[in-house]
Structure 1
Amino acid sequence: MVKRDTKVRLLGHGLKNKGNDCFFNSVMQCVLSVVDLTTFYSENRFNDKQVASKGFQSFIEEYKSSNPLSPESFITTLRPKIALLNGKQQDSHEFLITFIDLLFKELTNATREVINSSTEYNRIKLNNFIADTFFGLQQTTVICGTCLNKSTSPSIFSILTLPVTNDLNDSIYLYSKETLLQGQDQFKCNTCSYSKASKHSIDVLCYPKILVIHLMRFSGAFRKIDDPINIPRELTLNKEKYDVFGLTCHSGVLSSGHYVSYSKRNSVWYYFNDSSVTKIESPPLRKSDAYLVFYERR
C-alpha cells in the first residue's frame, strides 16, 4: 500500500506590493518553501494568544487559492508585534530574524536568551517546532593573552551572518577562523583582570535543519558591498549535506532598493518579483546582489 503524502506543498503564487512590502514578500516566498513549516502551521490549532501563529496559518490558506495574494491582512496582524512593519522600506534580514523569534516565543513562552547550554538547546528543540527547524548552536571561545585562561560561551542562532567573499564556503571558513581581539575590541580577563590582545573563535556545534545565511553587504547606512559570491548548490557542514532552496536578492542601496527572490517548490524553481512569478530552470548562483541564502538539510 502506497503511503499518501500529507505534506502541504505550495505552488508558486505572487504577493502584491502595496508600496514598500518587497522585503516582506521576498522573505515569505522562501519561508513558504519550507514544507515542514507550511505543514505544521496548516495542521495545528493555535489559541487566541498566539496571534502571529494564527495569522500565519490564515496567510498560508489564502496563499493556496490566491494568485497574486495581498499580504496586507497578515502584515496588519503582525504589526503590533513587529515594529518595523511600519509601511517603510526595511531590511529583510531584520524582519526574518524578528519573525522567527516571534513564532518561537508563541510556541514556548520563552526567549532565546534562556538557551545557554547544549542540554537546554536539545531540550527546547524537542518541545518547540521553530527551535527544532531554525535554531543552531554555536560556541564562542576567548583565550586570554596574559594568563591563557580559556572562557567559552554557547549561544543559539537562527540566521548565520557571514562576510561577503568570492565563495560561500570561504565565508563559512572565515566565520570560524581564529582572530585576535585587540585595541578597542580588547578582552578583559575575568581570571587575571588584565586587558590584552586575546584569541577569539566561534565554532558552530550544531547547524539547524533550515540554515539561513545573511551576507553582510551593508556597511553603515550608505555603503553597500556589491561583490559577486558563488553560492554552492550543496554544502557539507559537520558531515551533513545541505541543499540550496532559496535566495533573496537586493538591488539599490539600503535606504532605497528592491528585493526579489528565487525559491524551489516541488522540484521547480521560481523567480518571485512581488506579483510577478516566473518558472525558471535554475537560479543564477553567482550573484552580486544575493542577501539571504536558504539551505535545507537532507
Structure 2
Amino acid sequence: MFQRNPSYSNPTPCNHLADYKLRYGLNGYKSFQNHLKTTPNGRTSIQNPDSKLPRCGSCDGYEGRLYICLICASISCSNHTLLHNQSENGHDLAVDVERAELYCYACSDQVYDPDFDRTVMSKHIVAAVLEKSQSAERSSKRRRFGSIDLLDLKKLKPLMSVKDQRSKSCYPLGLRGLNNLGNTCFMNSVLQVFLHTPPLSNYFLNDQHNRETCSKRPIGQLCLPCDIDRIFSAVFSGDHMPYSPAQFLYSWWQHSANLAFYEQQDAHEFFISVLDRIHEREWKSRSQDKENGDCKCIAHKAFSGQLRSDVTCMTCGFTSTTYDPCVDISLDLDTHDFLSRNIASKSTKPVDSSSKSTLSGCLDLFTRPEKLGSDQKLFCQNCQEMRSSVKQMSIRRLPLVLCLHIKRFEHSFVRRTSRKIDRYLQFPFSLDMIPYLSSSIIRNRYGNRIFASEGDEIDASSKFEIFAVVSHSGTLESGHYVTYLRLRSQWYKCDDAWITEVDEEMVRNSQCYMMFYLQKIPNYKLNEDLSCLPISPRNDTFQQIAGCC
C-alpha cells in the first residue's frame, strides 16, 4: 500500500487559529453549530439568530462579504473587520456568513482547519437526513441526534437513508467538491477542469503516471504529477465528501515559491504554472518528435496548439512569418470605445457590465490585421531598414483541448491603476474555428487566389464543444472563482466544496474568465460515462455508481 510522504501535511494554521483552539478546543465549533444552516440545494451558510438579514454591526450594511465573530457572534463587513478586531482583544477569528469558511481578522485572510470542515459537513449530513425523513419520525430522530457528537462523521454516515445515498450517487463519478484551504478557489476551479478534461483523466486513470512507481518517490523528491495522480484517485474513488488537496498545494508551493502564500492568485496563471510543472516532469521521461520538436508530454498533447504571426512591411510588402506554440489563447474584450471614455474621465470604476461582447468578436479582434505604431518599427529583411508594418495573428494548428482566456483584468503602469472589466461576454457552446485558421486567413488576405501552404491546411476537426467554464465574480481585489462543468449534457456548478446542478442559462450569464472546448473527434466523447471504468492496475478502487449504469 502506498505510504503517505511524511513531508506532506495540511497547511500550517495561523497563530490566531492555534491560540483559539488552545483556549476553546472543539467546544467553540460545537457551540457555533447553531448558526449553521443548510439550504435545500446542499449549501451550508451562516444564519444570524437575531435577524433574518445579516447586517454589519458598524455600518448596518448587508452587501458584499459579511463575517460573524466566533467569540461574540457580532457581524462585520469587509470594511470593518479590522475595527472589530482592534476594539475587541482576542476576537481574531470569524466565519464567512455566505460560505461558512473560517476567516482571520488579524491576518485579513481565510484559514483552513480540518476540524471546522468536519463541523460544517456533519451539520450538512444531519440536515440531509432530517429533510428526507418522514414528519412522524422527525422528532424522534432529532432526539437521537442530540446524543451524537456532530463532529464524528463515522457515526452520522450510517444514519443516511438508502434513498439519500442513491440520490447523491447519481452524480457522475469524479464529481466531488474541493475544500477551500484559504483563498484557494483559484486552484480548486482549475483542478476541477483538469479532473474532467478527457485526455488528462484517461492519462492518469490508466496509470500513465503512477505515483507508486514514480522515479522521484524513492529519493523523497516532490513530484507534482504524483500529487495530481493522488487527486484523481481520491476524486474517482466514489466518495462524494469534499476532498482537501492540501498535499498538492504544498507541492505546488515548492515549485512556485513566489506564489507560496495564502493570497488570492490568478486562475489563468495557476493553469499555466501547473502545465509547466507537468511538462518539466514528463518531458524528461518521454521522447520528442525529432522532425518538428513537438513535446509528447500529456500537457502539450492535450492543450498545445500553434500560432502563426505574419508581419508585412508597408513599404515593399515583404512578409515575415513566425510560428509559436501555445497552450491557450488570450483574447481582448472589444471595449476600446468604452475604455477611451473612462480614461478621458480618469475613472477607475469597473467597466459597465451592461455592455456586451461576443466570443466571435473577440476572435475576430485577435486575428484582425494590426498596424504597429511608429515606435514599433521592425527591421525588413527585403528593405534592410526599419519599416512600419502590419501584424496579423492566426491559428496554424488547433489543440485537442482549446482553452480561451478572456482578459478581464486591466493594468495601467503609467497611471498605476488596475481594474476589472465586468462586460458580459456571449459565447456559444459549439464553436467552429475554421474562420480563424491560418489557411482561411491567408486565402482571405489574397482574395482566395492561393491555397494553404507550408502545412497551413484546414483541420478536419475544427469544430469544438464546450465542457467547462471558469467564472470570476466580484472585484479585482476581492473576487471568487467557480467552475461550471458539463457532464452528460447536464451542467454542474463547482463552488469549492459545494456541487450543485444548474441550468445552461446560469452558465451563459456568468462572467466567464476561461472557457474550455473539446475537439469533436470520435476518440473523446464529451458526455462519456466514467462510472464504469475498469479497476486501475494498481488496484485503486473506482466504485461503480448505483443508478448511473
Tell me whether 1:92 sits opposite 2:267 in the alignment. Answer: yes
Partner of 2:199: 36
- Residue 31 of structure 1, CA deviation: 1.6
Q: Give the SS at the match of 2:181.
A: coil
- Residue 261 of structure 1, CA deviation: 1.2
The counterpart of 1:223, out of the listed 416, 419, 424, is 419
Is the CA contact (8 Å cut-off) linking 1:262 and 1:283 kept in structure 2?
no
Tell me whether 1:187 sits opposite 2:366 in the alignment. Answer: no
Is the CA contact (8 Å cut-off) linking 1:248 and 1:291 kept in structure 2?
yes
Provide, for residues 55-105 of structure 1, a one-character-per-residue CA deviation record: whole Å limited to 9, x for no partner: 110111122335201111111112111232422111101110111121122
Alignment of 1:1-298 (within 5 A): 10-42=173-205, 43-44=207-208, 45=210, 46-48=214-216, 51-64=223-236, 65=239, 67-83=241-257, 84-109=259-284, 120=292, 123-124=294-295, 127-165=296-334, 166-220=357-411, 222-238=418-434, 240-282=462-504, 284-287=506-509, 289-298=511-520
Return the alpha-carbon distance in structure 2 between the equivalents of residues 92 and 258 of structure 1.
10
Provide, for residues 199-232 of structure 1, a one-character-per-residue CA deviation record: whole Å limited to 9, x for no partner: 1011101111111110011111621111101110
Is the CA contact (8 Å cut-off) linking 1:231 and 1:285 kept in structure 2?
no
Is the CA contact (8 Å cut-off) linking 1:136 and 1:206 kept in structure 2?
yes
Q: 1:281 to 1:265 in 2, by over 3 A?
A: same
Q: Give the SS at the match of 2:276.
A: helix
Provide, for residues 157-178 of structure 1, a one-character-per-residue CA deviation record: whole Å limited to 9, x for no partner: 1011011241111111111111
Q: With the length of structure 1 as denominator, give the TM-score of the two structures.
A: 0.87
Return the alpha-carbon distance in structure 1 between the equivalents of residues 429 and 476 of structure 2.
27
Return the alpha-carbon distance in structure 1 between the equivalents of residues 480 and 394 of structure 2.
34
Q: 1:35 to 1:190 in 2, by over 3 A?
A: same
Return the alpha-carbon distance in structure 2 between the equivalents of residues 186 and 219 of structure 1.
25
Provide, for residues 37-57 of structure 1, a one-character-per-residue CA deviation record: whole Å limited to 9, x for no partner: 112112223331671111110
Q: 1:17 to 1:50 in 2, by over 3 A?
A: closer
Q: Which amino acid aligns with 2:432?
A: T
- Residue 190 of structure 1, CA deviation: 4.2
Return the alpha-carbon distance in structure 2 between the equivalents of residues 270 and 60 of structure 1.
18
Provide, for residues 186-206 of structure 1, a one-character-per-residue CA deviation record: whole Å limited to 9, x for no partner: 323344343332110111011
Return the alpha-carbon distance in structure 2 between the equivalents of residues 288 and 268 of structure 1.
16
- Residue 134 of structure 1, CA deviation: 0.5
Q: Give the SS at the match of 2:277.
A: helix
Q: 1:211 to 1:249 in 2, by over 3 A?
A: same
Q: With the length of structure 2 as denominator, give the TM-score of the two structures.
A: 0.48
List gaps (5 residues or longer) in structure 1.
1-8
Return the alpha-carbon distance in structure 2 between the equivalents of residues 147 and 109 of structure 1.
45
Return the alpha-carbon distance in structure 1 between the equivalents of residues 376 and 250 of structure 2.
41
* Greater C-alpha Rg: 2
Q: Give the SS at the match of 1:67.
A: coil
Return the alpha-carbon distance in structure 2 between the equivalents of residues 236 and 97 of structure 1.
25
Provide, for residues 231-252 of structure 1, a one-character-per-residue CA deviation record: whole Å limited to 9, x for no partner: 1010011352101111111112
Q: Give the SS at the match of 1:205.
A: strand
- Tell me whether 15-24 or 257-266 shows the greater mean CA deviation: 257-266
Provide, for residues 21-50 of structure 1, a one-character-per-residue CA deviation record: whole Å limited to 9, x for no partner: 010011111121112211211222333167
Q: Which amino acid aligns with 1:139?
A: R
Partner of 1:3: none
Return the alpha-carbon distance in structure 2 between the equivalents of residues 157 and 37 of structure 1.
18
Is the CA contact (8 Å cut-off) linking 1:11 and 1:265 kept in structure 2?
no
- Residue 273 of structure 1, CA deviation: 1.0
Is the CA contact (8 Å cut-off) linking 1:232 and 1:285 kept in structure 2?
no
Q: Which structure's relative contact order is higher, taking Cα pairs within 8 Å and 6+ residues apart?
A: 1
Q: 1:292 to 1:85 in 2, by over 3 A?
A: farther
Is the CA contact (8 Å cut-off) linking 2:468 and 2:516 kept in structure 1?
yes
